[in-house]
């Protein structure tokens, strides 16, 4: 009869030795999985660094370029359409808030109406202002006429804006500029001084300085 106890001990040592490659294999697999996860984490970080910030994403369903008056004009189809390509990145966000895959950038074409070229457009807006007294319309007209060097009309529409709301700085400034352009510098200075006295506006001070120096 063998010494079974000694044989059992030998067998236990054999089993332990036999398990070593299995244990090593297990750890290798675990480390491998860990490495894959680590890589995935880094990958996400990489994508985060290159993703387009949320606030900068232009969405096709937000009509940031079209105002009400212009929309109305667009409906009448008597305008010139300018095709403006805008790059839009579609970012998919999952419910957890993590960044998903970033799709290829697509170009969105929106139609912007060039109102500065058509006299009929101004007429339409003037008409609408008279009906609704919307300062956006009057200010738009003031700016547009000023750009087109029609200072008299610019002065008029700046005044109209000011009548509705005398706190719109832009209307004051356009009015003063238009006055100056028309050669009424003293009047422009008087107006600006009155406004500066009331509001202490830096913009107004800068403009006043320019007018005084004869730059405008």
Interface with other proteins (CB under 8 A) = 1-2, 4, 7-8, 10-11, 13-15, 17
| Residue 36 CB, nearest approach to other proteins (Å) | 35
| Residue 7 CB, nearest approach to other proteins (Å) | 5
Cβ proximity to other proteins: between 11 and 46 the closer is 11
Cβ proximity to other proteins: between 22 and 96 the closer is 22
Q: How many angstroms separate the CA atoms of 97 and 99, rounded?
A: 6
| Residue 2 CB, nearest approach to other proteins (Å) | 6
Cβ proximity to other proteins: between 3 and 55 the closer is 3
| Residue 28 CB, nearest approach to other proteins (Å) | 24
Cβ proximity to other proteins: between 14 and 46 the closer is 14
């Amino acid at each position: 009869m063998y010494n079974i106890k000694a044989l059992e001990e030998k067998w236990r040592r054999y089993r332990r030795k036999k398990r070593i490659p299995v244990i090593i294999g297990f750890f290798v697999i675990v480390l491998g999985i860990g490495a894959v996860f680590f890589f995935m984490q880094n990958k996400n970080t990489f994508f985060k660094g290159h993703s387009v910030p949320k606030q900068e994403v232009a969405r096709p369903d937000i009509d940031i370029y079209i105002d009400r008056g212009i929309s109305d004009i667009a409906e009448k189809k008597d305008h010139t359409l300018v095709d403006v390509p805008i790059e839009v990145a579609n970012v998919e966000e999952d419910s957890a808030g993590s960044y998903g895959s970033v799709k290829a950038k697509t170009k969105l074409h929106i139609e912007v109406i060039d109102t500065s070229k058509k006299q009929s457009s101004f007429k339409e807006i003037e008409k609408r202002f008279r009906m609704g007294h919307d300062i956006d319309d009057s200010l738009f007209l003031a700016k547009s006429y000023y750009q087109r060097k029609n200072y008299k009309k610019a002065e008029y529409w700046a005044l109209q804006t000011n009548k509705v709301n005398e706190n719109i700085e832009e209307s004051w400034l356009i009015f003063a500029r238009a006055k100056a352009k028309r050669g009424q510098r003293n009047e422009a200075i008087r107006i600006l001084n009155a406004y500066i006295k009331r509001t202490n506006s830096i913009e107004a001070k800068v403009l006043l300085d320019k007018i005084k120096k004869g730059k405008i």
